[in-house]
Amino acid sequence: MENHIRTHWVMDFETLSNCFIGVFEAVNSEKTRTFVIHESKNDLQEFLTFLKVNIAFDEWHVSYNGISFDSQITEHILKNANYLSLMKGQDVAKWIYGKAQDTIEKSRNNEYSDFPEWKLSIQQIDVFKINHWDNQAKKSSLKWIQFSMDYPTIQDMPISHTECVTSDQIPMIIDYCINDVKSTKKILHLSKPLLNVRTTIKNKYGLNCYNYSNTKLGSELLLKLYCDATGKNPFEVKKYRTYRDSIDIGKILFPYFKFQSAPFISFFEMLKTKIIYNTKNDFEYTAQFKGFTFYYGSGGIHQCIKSGVYKADDEFIIKDLDVASLYPSIACVNEMYPEHLGKEFFKVYKNDLVDVRLAEKVKPKADKDMAIIEGFKEASNAAFGNSNSEYSWLFDSSYAMETTINGQLLITMLVEDLLINIPEAKLLQTNTDGATLYFSKKYVNIYESICKNWEKITKLTLEFADYKAMYVWDINNYISIYTDGNYKCKGRFEWEDLANHKYTHLHKNKSFLIIPKAIFNYFVNDIDPETFLKENQNIFDYCGGVKIKGDWAFEEHFVVKNEYKINKLQNTIRYFISNSGSKIIKVNKSTKKTIQVEASRWMQTVYINHKEKEFSEYNINYDFYLKKIKQEIQNIEPIINQFKLFDNA
């Protein structure tokens, strides 16, 4: 082993009742190792040797949800190597299967794993945890991520784990396992920015944070900085909380608020006497001013003009403003902190974290500097993000409400002043940390003066952008075009990050991406949808994705030579709308209730295996996509010249 080259491995296990299969592929090459334990073949000794080499040379395992499953199986095998070596292949496979089922059951019951990460013999990189796909809001299976990143094959396990595997079935299971490994490897490379941050933080601060989500990374880095500065024990600090029965809002309002109009004065006076008992539900308010409706809640402020197209021209401009790092900055300039952590927390938070991050952001030099900035960003956000979670050492609901309620009032004070002093201004939108205003450019000096005065009062910093157009559906769904030609697409109009498989968007639903792409090109590049569709020959852009769980199953219903047929389908499906094909049906296993995935006359082609061919051979039903595009365009721009292509849509 003198000439051994250290190699990290992407891996996956399949544990069946009488068969174990492990597949490993090198991170930086296509070198593959496959191990089978079955009555027909017993690779246990070769597998143990491989694992011992991994340990000796500090070779890491990369997996999808491997911390909770695959690494547990590895550790059980290593700990029982001598015992297992005396057994026949089928008995080893049965023993591993039992451990696998115990591990799965513990996970289902939210019990601790047998082997916490720090006890594992082999360093793990778990792309499932790094991307926070174990979070309920982002929960994603490997199959769904395969759909999101246009992976050629989306494949469920071909047989049940309870079945007895024959030797003839083993190659099929290995192929399935290889597909999972290769798709996990692709996720690893897409997640490289996340790994760079964690590697840099590990090297600089000694945090073993490779498998932390961004939220946990921020919290743990902040904890370390706080404990390093104060000399406190992190295990003791993690026990700290500030619990409150109620929050008197009047006592946490900043002293410098002044409002000029009746709706906002009334709102502010109400807040002075408001008592909150439930920080999730006890704060909701609506205010009307100058024809605009403002919605307030525990999560922030929002307002949006009616849907439509808004363009700058020779007379009118569109100015967008955002408060730089709103929540961290509010805490810093107003000396805020969770009560149980004391004023020393504020000093650490401001001096060692926020100020350093903002200073470095101005002059980043290299990837490692950018990684530190990103890590500090997560730590900055952690103070507020975790302050309303009783599971966090940062928990103090008063701190959370002080941040968000004052933040909304700060934005309100600014937009009120702008609307009062700039004649006929239109407030296109207001959100948690900013606002967008449409007004005559002759008032730009007034706009700038008001913003500077607001910055002087609040000690916060505003960042500005100029738009030449906004295409608005609502506060969460719009397209903004900057004067320099760049753009921002939000919500239903997002497409670029989805198309490029950016790691931040892999958990999202990219179904029928051709629709937001066509809408964007219609508004921004003046390309009519029919032309765009004819020119776009990426089959994945036309695909939708659906997944199922619980007591439901997918079926494919179709007719062949006047005979009605039904095929059982897997739990995650990729499909596109075609001129001929089948109907994909959701069927409830208990009630037999059925639901069409695509209602009406639209036929589908199941497309879980990608095959390159002449685009016309896919037999795309363009009417479906054109109808959807038309509906979206008309939602924004109700009066349009009707395209010929819409005549039959």
Q: Read out DSSP for 158-201?
A: SS-TTSPPPGGGHHHHHHHHHHHHHHHHHHHHHTHHHHHHHHHH
Q: Examine the pLDDT at 138 and tell me if it is beyond 90.
A: yes
CA distances from 104 to 13, 109, 131, 564 (A): 13, 9, 21, 39
pLDDT at residue number 238: 95
Identify the bridge partners of residue 434 per DSSP, sorted by sequence position.
322, 431
Q: Which two three-digit tokens encode residue 256?
A: 């410098």
**Which tens digits make up the pLDDT trace of 282-312?**
889 999 999 999 999 988 999 999 999 999 9
Identify whether the C-beta of residue 142 lies closer than 8 Å to the C-beta of residue 180. yes
How crowded is the C-beta side of 96, counted as CA atoms within 13 Å?
35
Q: CB neighbours (10 Å) of residue 568?
A: 9
Helix 367-385 vs helix 355-362: crossing angle, to nearest 10: 150
- Amino acid, single-letter form, for residue 300: G
DSSP three-state, residue 588: strand
Q: Which stretches within 488-636 are classed as H helix?
A: 496-499, 514-525, 529-535, 622-636
CA distances from 191 to 9, 120, 129, 593 (A): 16, 23, 11, 40
Q: Examine the pLDDT at 649 and tell me if it is beyond 80.
A: no
Q: Which two three-digit tokens encode residue 521?
A: 């090109």
Residue with tokens 């921002």: 488
Looking at per-residue pLDDT, the higher value among 98 and 279 belongs to 98
Tell me how far apart the alpha carbons of residues 430 and 412 are, in angstroms, rounded to a whole number.
Answer: 9
Q: What are phi and psi of 548, to 5 degrees?
A: -140, 150
* Region 466-482 average pLDDT: 95
Tell me how far apart the alpha carbons of residues 380 and 278 are, in angstroms, rounded to a whole number.
Answer: 25
When pLDDT is cut at 50, 70 and 90, the band that residue 278 belongs to is confident
Q: Which two three-digit tokens encode residue 533?
A: 């569709």
Q: Integer distance in angstroms from the first to the last C-alpha of the chain?
A: 67
* Region 236-264 average pLDDT: 96
Query: Among the listed ranges 342-351, 429-438, 496-505, 534-543, which one has the minimum average pLDDT value?
Result: 342-351
Q: Which two three-digit tokens encode residue 133?
A: 């796909």
Identify the bridge partners of residue 564 per DSSP, sorted by sequence position.
559
Q: Give all domains of the chain, ordered by start, each with its CATH number.
A: 9-190 (3.30.420), 192-239+339-386 (no CATH), 247-323+395-475 (3.90.1600), 498-646 (no CATH)
Plot region of 446 (φ>0 → left; ψ -120 to 50 → alpha; else → beta): alpha
**Which tens digits make up the pLDDT trace of 542-584?**
999 999 988 999 999 999 888 999 999 999 999 999 999 999 9
- Amino acid, single-letter form, for residue 110: N
When pLDDT is cut at 50, 70 and 90, the band that residue 644 belongs to is very low
Cα 339 vs. chain centroid, distance in angstroms?
31
When pLDDT is cut at 50, 70 and 90, the band that residue 646 belongs to is very low
How crowded is the C-beta side of 336, counted as CA atoms within 13 Å?
27
Tell me how far apart the alpha carbons of residues 366 and 350 are, in angstroms, rounded to a whole number.
Answer: 24
CA distances from 193 to 196, 280, 625 (A): 5, 33, 35
When pLDDT is cut at 50, 70 and 90, the band that residue 1 belongs to is low
pLDDT at residue number 9: 98
pLDDT at residue number 503: 94
With vertex at residue 372, the alpha carbon angle to CA 367 and CA 373, rounded to the nearest 5 degrees, is: 95
